[in-house]
Structure 1
Amino acid sequence: MANQPQFDPGRALANYDPFNVAENMRKLFGGFFLQENWMSPVRWMTNIAQQGMTIDIAENDESYTVLADIPGVKKEDITVEIAGNRITISAETKSGKEERKGDAIIQSERHYGSFFRSFILDKNVDDDKVAAKYTDGVLELTIPKKNGGQGKQISIH
């Protein structure tokens, strides 16, 4: 048993090179992933759920204006919730593709996904007067600030 090699965890870690794994993968697959259209068969599945939602927020003395890019989503599939000064925009995507040859289905694929974006505004908002419209893939929220939301200074006696 004297010739049996023993495992030394410290030595194994010392010999580990994380870049070697990447190099081995590069050698194994060659330039496959570097080809321009290597994902073209599934490119149609790319949608807002994978890309995320971009949001712009503007503020003036009376209100906030929120613009959220949500292309490819139906208005009925978008939800806006307001709790205090927290705003949550959520949406659900549904897409599918079906190829037929006569009466036979050659290929049928579906994608369902949901995503949300939540953020907190500096001032409390008047949730009874919020206006929302959705045009050409852009959700626009006009969120009035609550009156009297300004702080006041307290004198100390």
Structure 2
Amino acid sequence: MSLIPSIFGGRRSNVFDPFSQDLWDPFEGFFTPSSALANASTARDVAAFTNARVDWKETPEAHVFKADLPGLKKEEVKVEVEDKNVLQISGERSKENEEKNDKWHRVERASGKFMRRFRLPENAKMEEVKATMENGVLTVVVPKAPEKKPQVKSIDISGAN
């Protein structure tokens, strides 16, 4: 079991993975405006949504990404391919309208924008990316090109026995 996920807030990403652009920011929350400090739990909840959690697994056929995006509709999420091998998942959850007569006792659901980017290896078929959203879970499948096997050519050996 790795110590990295427990140190960095339960992340499954590998800090030694050259394809991961998910970097830990030691100053995250350090320069927080004083209004946000007054309600630290709200700031923490918003940060949790803005850094949407994404699982990335590689199968023999494809790279599969799963993102938990509860409460979002597929129209509120974008899946894009950038620079031929960067997958970008982004979106925004709008803040609920507040009425003057409303008295909030607790705000735990996060709102705001999020964006995650993943640099994929050369074998990813970026032109065949498929995305589906069901029950608040976005699934993005990036097929892989078949592994190229080196061509081997036998050479006849000439000469006397």
Which residues of structure 2 form unaligned runs of 5+?
Answer: 1-36, 105-109, 152-161
TM-superposed deviation, 1:136: 1.5
Q: 1:93 to 1:49 in 2, by over 3 A?
A: farther
* CA distance in 1: counterparts of 2:49 and 2:57, whole angstroms: 26
Larger % of helix: which?
1
Q: Deviations over 1:113-156 (max 9, x none)?
A: 21200011223422332221111211001110134x64859xxx
TM-score (ref. length: structure 2): 0.53
> What is the match of residue 101 of structure 2?
106
Which residues of structure 1 form unaligned runs of 5+?
Answer: 1-32, 100-104
TM-superposed deviation, 1:76: 0.4
* CA distance in 1: counterparts of 2:46 and 2:96, whole angstroms: 12
TM-superposed deviation, 1:50: 4.3
Q: 1:135 to 1:53 in 2, by over 3 A?
A: same
* CA distance in 2: counterparts of 1:133 and 1:48, whole angstroms: 25
Q: Indicate the structure whose relative CO is greater, using CA pairs within 8 Å and at least 6 residues apart.
A: 2
- SS of match in other structure, 1:96: coil
- Higher alpha-carbon Rg: 1
Amino acid at match of 1:58: K
Aligned residues between the structures: 110
Amino acid at match of 1:85: N
Q: Deviations over 1:80-105 (max 9, x none)?
A: 11132211101111021434xxxxx4
Matches within 5 A, 1:6-155: 39=39, 43=42, 46-47=45-46, 50=49, 52-83=51-82, 84-99=84-99, 105-107=100-102, 113-147=112-146, 150=148
Identity %: 31
Q: 1:113 to 1:39 in 2, by over 3 A?
A: closer
TM-superposed deviation, 1:46: 3.9
- CA-based RMSD of the aligned residues comes to 3.6
* CA distance in 1: counterparts of 2:139 and 2:53, whole angstroms: 12
Larger % of strand: which?
1
- The answer (yes or no) to whether the contact 1:49–1:114 under 8 Å persists in 2 is no
